[in-house]
Structure 1
Amino acid sequence: MTSVLGVKTVLHPVSDLPKAKALYSALLGVEPVADAPYYVGYEVAGQHIGLVPNGDMGGPVAYWHVTDIEAKLAEVTAAGGTLKEAAHDVGGGRLVASFTDPDGNVLGLVQDS
């Protein structure tokens, strides 16, 4: 089994990015470290909180950080998970993927280079 480093990233789908940014900035007490029309991200208390405009996520998605994303995807799909989004690079060598559990809940994986 591959190592799991914990949930360190949570992404939230938002319909109005400027309003969500104002609210999350107030909630978290910090300014975003990533601020673009397609994504706003915060680093706080060892976690990354992201806002995804017009995301089709259906709700917040927790991303488990792992040491080997392909191996972990193989493990969870063999155990009954269904691949939603194959592993792909989102920049800087960071790989992300997602899958659903048997009840349809979306779970994410992140591997940092």
Structure 2
Amino acid sequence: MLRGLATISLWADDLEAAKDWYAELLGVAPYFSVPGPGGRAAYYEFRVGDYEHELGLIDARFRPGGPAAAPGGAPGGVIAYWHVDDLEAAVARLLAMGAREHEKPTERGEGTGFATASVTDPFGNVLGVMTNPHYLEVLAKAAPV
């Protein structure tokens, strides 16, 4: 039923600032945008990572249900985790860019190689990062021979 990650959507009151922040974080400009009412952008989309997953930034005016109650939405909401090769370095970079710690780096099972952390970006979204051996196994299988 679920075939793969299609798009992660994040919301921002200041969409232009969010676009610039994520462009700096990712090292690429958005490849797609949609104009909104009054001519200002309503949506920016980036291609991210080995499989070019989509990260969409949406003007908070269009958030379903209005403003979020807490970072990342209602308490208990979903956090999408992106694989990183060096968790400590990724978290340090995010914090240096103005994100706030949401969950400190945490090992998930001793010796398993899984570890997670999350930050709240300057726009109120929770961004998860993790080291994930399964991701690396899938990546290795997909690599050309």
| TM-score in terms of structure 2 length | 0.38
Q: Greater RCO between the two (CA within 8 Å, min separation 6)? A: 1
Higher normalized strand content (fraction of residues): 1
| TM-score in terms of structure 1 length | 0.48
